[in-house]
Amino acid sequence: MVRDKGRRPVSVRDRAGYRFDRTLARSTGTLMGWLVITCLAVVVPVSALLVWTDPGSPRSVSGRLTAAWRTSAETLRLGAMTGTPLRMVLSALLGLVALLCVSTLVGVITNSLAERMAELSRGRSTVLEQGHVVVLGWSDQVTTVVGELIAAAAPGSTRAVVLLADRDKTEMERALAAHVGPAARARLICRSGPASDPAVLALVSPRTASTVLVLPSGGPGADAEVLRILLALRAVVGEGPDGPPVLAAVRDDHYRAPARLAAGPRGTVLETDTVTARLIAQCVGRPGLSLVLRDLLDFAGDEFHLTDATALHGGPFGAALLGHADSCVVGLLTPQGRTLLNPPADTVVAPGSRLIVVARDDGTSRPADCRHLVDPSAITTDRPAPEEPARLLMLGWNRRAPLVVDQLRHTARPGSALDVVTDRSVPGPREPEREPDAAPGTRLAVRFRSAALSRPETLLGLDLAPYDGLVVLGPDPGDGPDRPDDWTLVTLLALRLLEQRAGGRELRVVSELTDDRNRPLALVNPGSDVIVSGELTGLLMAQIAQNRHLAAVFDELFSADGSMICLRPAGTYVRPGVTTTFATVVAAARDRGECAIGYRRQDRRTMPPDHGVRLNPHKSERREWSTEDQVVVITTEATEPADVTDPAHPAGAPTQDAEEHRP
């Protein structure tokens, strides 16, 4: 052992290993030489030992040496020819050449297979499919979109779903397998690379696809990346009208017009933040609405479909409401492609029109006269009491909060008030410090104030008695805790404790989550709604990908004006305590200019997974309707103009919804 001054002792073994490593690192020839020496040092002595210990070996030394040579030569594949030294050398040379050729061939084949396997694992091979669905980009909506596309596949058919994202192919496959599960009715094909690169985008064959979906990532430059992907798609597919339908999503409204231009004439662009804000605002005054929408948007239950209206051509739309036993008619698609949701009952069904229905599957709706199932004596003539102004409280602030406030300004009853409590300064104008209901003629008065919401004692010190509804918005990713849902869950726990302190008073809470896996952790009462923004966008994109005509339907349902989904007391339609059919409820709703599509049972509000929501029941279904039951209807309510004193919308300035009809 050698000891260097000031260093740890270096053993002879370490030095020998170091010199051996240096020798191997010199060249390939050196490595081959060492391999030959090592092989000979092992094979020759062992072969000689085998010969000398064999009772049947030759007696002479020359015979034994010949036998040892043969054993060594056969082991090393050098040939076993004996005779003169020249013949033995030539035999060994021939064996070495054969060994070199075979080894080289094996190495070439091995390297080629390894490179091919590496290329396949990187997801850079070309996809040769026809009629497949292409999903570009990776976001929190991708698992929902892929899962719903698989669920929408027709029984007995196999759909190919091709995903291209700038992520590792193996990671994408594992993530999809964990969330989607075994895809019995689909082939999931993942490719890795930037979708904004036309050369990479061409690998997934978008020209032959049935639909192309572009998802925004969760990063700050997500919308700009969507624009680049749409431009790359245009470069690969071309600008003609023969390309596949394109459905893209952006977060910021400022990117919607450029995205529509880049998507082309067959493109549809969704604004994810606007859609989420509209749903939050609508759920504030309609508890249980999120359950209904989730059932309508996923493919596990009943959803919107188009069906033939030949039997009704020339007749009134109202006759169609009782013309289908196993589906609920809600609108018309005119021959010009215009969507009419909940039109007046006397609207004439023109030839070439199609019916918009809520049904189990596409093609399951069959005409059937259900007028004989209506019991006129069970229909009530009482009118619902007008809604009173509400006082609302919003806790938290994120990038969607201004959109939520703007939607509440359009949907709130005149004279309503909104208090916004945040733990940071809110950008934009503030309302004057006054009582929210002090301004006469105001549709919604808004007042901001700051508080340390991150401290539990602040939440537990809130006085919730004056409020009719609450909205809880978590921070944006990167703007607070590592997981924004953590703050939301803590806030919901505090609100639940305040409910218990108030003697069990049920608070109507609308909360927003970013991860659907946290939904079971949200402790809310049956009168509250939990909205998962990423899941909502994914469900919408999957529905529109199945049928482009549904974009206008969802546009109107999620807008501040026009038709909307409501849950209203069953006593508004039928007399409480009376047992009657659902066809009677449909007839009563028709008389009020509404389309009934289901109900919610009071006795099952706390029972998952449906929490009492039943969509598209058969028209002959009979049950006793209680005063606490609710009927799900699509209705049209007139809305008043926005407050002219609103600094965000001065008099004469058109809103975004007035400028353009959009999903």
pLDDT digits (tens, 9 = 90+) for 410-426: 888 888 999 999 886 65
Provide the CA 638 distance to its chain's centre, in angstroms: 33
Q: How far apart are CA 89 and CA 86, in angstroms?
A: 5
Q: What is the pLDDT of residues 75-98, one digit of tens each?
A: 655 655 565 666 566 566 656 655
Boundaries of CATH 3.40.50.720 in the chain? 125-265, 391-538+645-659
Q: What Rg, from alpha-carbon coordinates, does the chain have?
A: 36
Mind giving me the DSSP string for 111-142? Answer: HHHHHHHHHHHHT-SPP--SS-EEEES--TTH
CATH label, 125-265, candidates 3.10.129.10, 3.30.430.20, 3.40.50.720, 4.10.110.10: 3.40.50.720
Task: Determine the straight-line distance between the first and last CA of the chain, rounded to whole angstroms.
Answer: 79
Cis peptide before 344 (omega within 30 of 0): no
- pLDDT the model gives residue 485: 82
Residue 140 corresponds to which tokens in the numbers above? 């929190």
Mean pLDDT of the chain: 79
Q: What is the pLDDT of residues 273-308, one digit of tens each?
A: 888 888 888 888 788 888 888 888 887 778 898 888
- pLDDT the model gives residue 57: 74
Q: What is the pLDDT of residues 373-409, one digit of tens each?
A: 999 999 988 777 777 888 999 998 888 899 999 888 8
pLDDT exceeds 80 at position 116: no
pLDDT exceeds 70 at position 129: yes
Strands 595-600 and 613-615: antiparallel
Residue 423 corresponds to which tokens in the numbers above? 């733990």
Q: What is the pLDDT of residues 598-624, one digit of tens each?
A: 999 888 887 877 788 899 999 999 999
Confidence of residue 651 (pLDDT cuts 50, 70, 90): very low
- pLDDT the model gives residue 189: 85
Range in 344-348, 457-461, 597-601 the model is least confident about: 457-461
- pLDDT the model gives residue 460: 85
Tell me, what DSSP letter sits at residue 330? Answer: E
Which among 531, 603, 594, 522 is positioned nearest to 565, based on CA atoms? Answer: 594
Q: What is the pTM of this model?
A: 0.72
Q: Report the pLDDT averaged over residues 167-190.
A: 78
Helix (H) or strand (E) holding 63: helix 61-75
| 627 and 312 Cβ atoms separated by less than 8 Å | no
| 292 and 325 Cβ atoms separated by less than 8 Å | no
- pLDDT the model gives residue 136: 92
According to DSSP, the residues that pair with 418 across neighbouring strands are 392, 446
SS3 185: coil
Strands 416-422 and 391-395: parallel
Q: Which of the pair, 655 or 361, is modelled with greater confidence?
A: 361
Q: Report the pLDDT averaged over residues 34-62.
A: 73
Q: Report the pLDDT averaged over residues 3-30.
A: 68
Q: Which CATH class is domain 391-538+645-659?
A: alpha beta
Which phi and psi (to 5°) does residue 120 adopt? -65, -40
Q: What is the pLDDT of residues 494-520, one digit of tens each?
A: 888 888 887 767 788 898 888 777 787
Q: How far apart are CA 596 and CA 581, in angstroms?
A: 13
- pLDDT the model gives residue 649: 35
SS3 352: coil
Which among 339, 340, 349 is positioned nearest to 317, based on CA atoms? Answer: 349
pLDDT exceeds 80 at position 16: no
| Percent of the chain scoring above 90 in pLDDT | 14
Q: Report the pLDDT averaged over residues 25-48.
A: 70
